[in-house]
Amino acid sequence: AGAAMPDRRTVSPGIASQMEVPIAPRDAVDALAVSELSHVTEEARVFMALGHNDRPIEVLQDHIRRLPRSMPAAWLFLLDLYQQEGDRAEFRKLADTFHTHFNVRAPLWEEFVAESSLAGGIESFPIVEQQIVKVWRQPSCRAYLEGLLYDNRDGRRNGFPLAAYSGILTLL
């Protein structure tokens, strides 16, 4: 019998195209997902402005439950709300789940607010930084950056520090 092909969910887009293995589209990385994320975060902000602090959490939880591998911004927003509310248990649970879906270290409660301003950005990963420079303004750049965001090793990666992860998000 022939060699078994790797499972398409564990193959990066670049490698998959070389192997001619179709990649199933992620749950929501397209214009519709960005539009929905914008709607969800705007709705959460309106509820916050009106003083309904439970509703933004419910809105974001529902979005994440429906589209767990959508844009990570909803996850980060919800982590921030849990911290503002002082809910360590929900923060920890969401941070651990966040790590299983995305290529980022599970954020720690004590470091969450300050972590994005700490060292440990993309410049701490010279090989990644060199590859970004190499593919910048190339059609493959977006796919490369998106490939950095998502865990493709079933949670066996340490993931990027939040500062580096935020830097990658900013480049997209």
Question: Are the C-beta atoms of 147 and 12 separated by less than 8 Å?
Answer: yes
Helices and strands: H and E segment counts in the chain: 9, 0
Tell me, what's the pLDDT at 94?
93
Could you write out the DSSP letters of every residue in 55-108? HHHHHHHHHHHH-TTS-THHHHHHHHHHHHHT-HHHHHHHHHHHHHHBSBPPPP
Helix/strand/coil for 160: strand
CA distances from residue 50 to 40, 45, 70, 170 in whole angstroms, order as listed? 16, 9, 27, 29
Query: What's 161's DSSP letter?
Result: -
Q: Greatest CA separation found in the chain?
A: 64
Dihedral sign (CA 102, 104, 109, 112): negative
Between the two ends of the chain, the Cα-to-Cα distance in Å is: 42
Query: What's 20's DSSP letter?
Result: T
Tell me, what's the pLDDT at 90?
95
Q: Amino acid identity of 89?
A: A
Averages of pLDDT over each 10 residues, the chain, 172 residues? 38 36 41 66 84 89 87 86 92 90 82 57 85 90 86 70 79 77
